[in-house]
Every structure is written in structure tokens, then in C-alpha cells.
Amino acid sequence: MDNVKKALITGIAGQDGSYLTELLLSKGYEVYGIIRWDSIFTTQRIDHLYQDPHIKGTRLFLKHGDLTDSASIIKLITEIKPDEIYHLGAQSHVRVSFEMPEYTVNTNALGTLRILEAIRISKLPIKFYMAASSEMFGGINSPQNENTPFCPKSPYACSKVFGYDITKLYREAYGIFAANGIFYNHESPRRGDTFVTKKITRGIARIKAGLDKKLYLGNLDAKRDWGFAPEYIEAMYSILQQPKPDDFVIATGESCSVKGFLEKAFDYAGLGDYQQYVEIDPYYYRPSEVNVLIGDSSKAKEKLGWKSKINFNELAKIMIDADFRKYGLTPPGEGDGILKEKFPNRWWKVD
């Protein structure tokens, strides 16, 4: 059918890519996703959505490509001719970016440029979404909004500042519908296992299941504005449906320390004082740390009608319920209740 919208997603197998795929399929889109070749399957987060492309009516297609490889990007964009591109692919781990700065910048900064150049050369009227990050602010002035100056404190943050700026430049110089979502930390049961919230909820489930005795962490004093990923995906979609391309801060407006998240999570799981289980390993410290991030999403509230519903306390409960299930434990259940109450018309699968 000609009137079916086509979306291309980079980073489709990541946390956000998997939720976005569910949202777009629920809206009738044909979804194309770029995956990196690997010797094993790395598509666990979207396996529940995948159908053999030989089956009639399939609307999800996975294609091999890499953000460091211009030819694969140009080929996919010119062949698929998408209406919208959601650029979520990245080396997204801040501490890893200190270990692999060149790879991080190549993938995140130049990867963004490669896509924008492919759009420009194609002359197709493609809308482009760039996954920018609160890390670009470096936490100097809190709360931050769309007018706060950037002060990146990691190779990851520097790479995202370039991605943000080049997106804005292609909008202004070439009239491309290119928009930045400046997203604060957003988490879910599908969050990568080495990000701190998931490391904590997974660690708690493993301790409960008798698989681990201790959980090793870094800086517990850092504060982050933690939200629930599916809500952020709705904002992402909405940003590309606006009449004009624009940049938006997406955040809850509340901040909590890693220690605060630990306290809530251990208490909810019935393990009591986290200090019995948590040890500090300086390996997890960063050469330069962002101490506090709090976002001001007033513009998103006014223009997109977007406001978060889930706070960090509820987030911890949702994630612990899911990790308990994953390790064969009976979840406390409050997290599942929150999901039912706040999202009666969920478009994503509960993990």
C-alpha cells in the first residue's frame, strides 16, 4: 500500500529502538531497522515483534549496516526511502566512552553526519530525529532547559554535542526537517545491564535468587533525573509529528542520587539496608563526573502536551518486578500495579 508510512530506525535492537518499534507498528508503520552483524543474535529486545519477511503482511524488516560505514547508510536510505528516520544508534555508555573515545566519536558524531549527508544527497523529504542527551549539559546549571549552554564532560557528551549541532545546522542550512530530543536518563526492564539502575535491580534479583552475594558500584552521590523509557518514546514520536522541526528537553524534573535509588530498590525488594550488600569499586568511577542533572521540560509540556507520569520510586518498582520474574522469583507486584493503573492502553509488551 502506497500510503503506509515508512520509518527507519538506527539502534533498533537497543532499549529505545525496541519500544519505538512497538509504538510505530501499533500506529500502522512499516518499520526498517539497522542492525550490526554479529556472530550471535543480538535482537532479544525485538524478538517478540519479529516475523519472517517471507510472511505476507510483515511490517518489520531488519537490515545489516553500521554507523561507521557510510556506504551501508547511503544504500539503505536510498533503497528504503523512509518518511522518517529515528537515529538512536550510538555507543551510549558514558564510562566506556573514556575507554574508547575514538570509536565513540566515530559512531556517535560522524555516524550522525553520515546519515544527514545521505538525506541531503538523496533530496528525499525525510524527517530526521536525533537522540541527543542531557549529558551535553554537564550539570553545571540545574535545572537545564533548551537554552542552557553545553558543558560536555565525557567523550560521549562531546560526540552528542556534535550530533546536536550538526542536526541543527542541516535544518538551518538545507531546510531538512531535523529535530533534537535532549533526553534525560530513561530506564526500563529493557535497559542495558551495565547502566546503574538496571545493574542495581538485576543485582537485587540475583542476590534474592542466591546467585550473588554482593553488588559492586562506583559513585553513589551522583544525581540523575530518571524517567520511564516508554513515556520518552511517545515524546520522540511526537517531536517528529510537529508542524516544524524543533529541539526539546524531555525529563521528569525530579532528581535522585544513586544512593537514593539503592535505598528505595533494596527496601522494596525486602532486603533492607543496601549497605549490607553494596561495595564500592573505584573501577566504576569516571575520570570526570556529571554530579547533578535535572531537566526542565516546560517547552515539551506546552508544545507537545508531554509530561512524565512515572517517578524514580515507581520506576524502581517496575524494574524490580520485571527482574524478579526474569530470575524465577515472585515479584512484590506493586510495579505491575502501577503499569496497569497509569497505562491502561499500553502499546508495549510488559517484560
For the annotated catalytic residues, the residue numbers are 133, 135, 156
Contact between 288 and ligand F7E (CB under 6 A)? no
Residue selected from 18, 92, 180, 255 as contacting ligand F7E according to rule CB under 6 A: 92
Buried b (16+ CB within 10 A) or exposed e, 317-345: bbbbbbbbbbeebebeebbbebbeeebee
Least distance (Å) between residue 44 CB and ligand F7E: 18
- Residue closer to ligand F7E, measured from CB, 80 or 217: 217
Residue selected from 22, 30, 135, 231 as contacting ligand F7E according to rule CB under 6 A: 135
Could you tell me the end-to-end alpha-carbon distance of the chain, in angstroms, rounded to an integer? 32
- Residue 286 near which of ligand NAP, ligand F7E, none (CB within 5-8 Å, type-dependent): ligand F7E
Contact between 92 and ligand NAP (CB under 6 A)? yes
Q: Cα(95)–Cα(286) distance, rounded to whole angstroms?
A: 6
- Residue closer to ligand F7E, measured from CB, 35 or 251: 251
> DSSP for 12-65?
TTSHHHHHHHHHHHHTT-EEEEEE---SS---GGGTTT---TTSTT--EEEEE-
- CA 162 → CA 111, 273, 287, distances in Å? 10, 42, 21
Residue selected from 21, 97, 112, 133 as contacting ligand NAP according to rule CB under 6 A: 133
Contact between 94 and ligand F7E (CB under 6 A)? yes
Which residue type is seen at 324?
A: F
* Near ligand NAP in 13-42, by CB under 6 A: 13-17, 34, 36, 42
Q: Assess whether the previous peptide bond of 143 is cis (omega < 30° from 0).
A: yes
- For ligand F7E, the binding residues (CB under 6 A) are 92, 94-95, 133-135, 184-185, 194-196, 199, 217-219, 222, 224, 258, 284, 286, 289
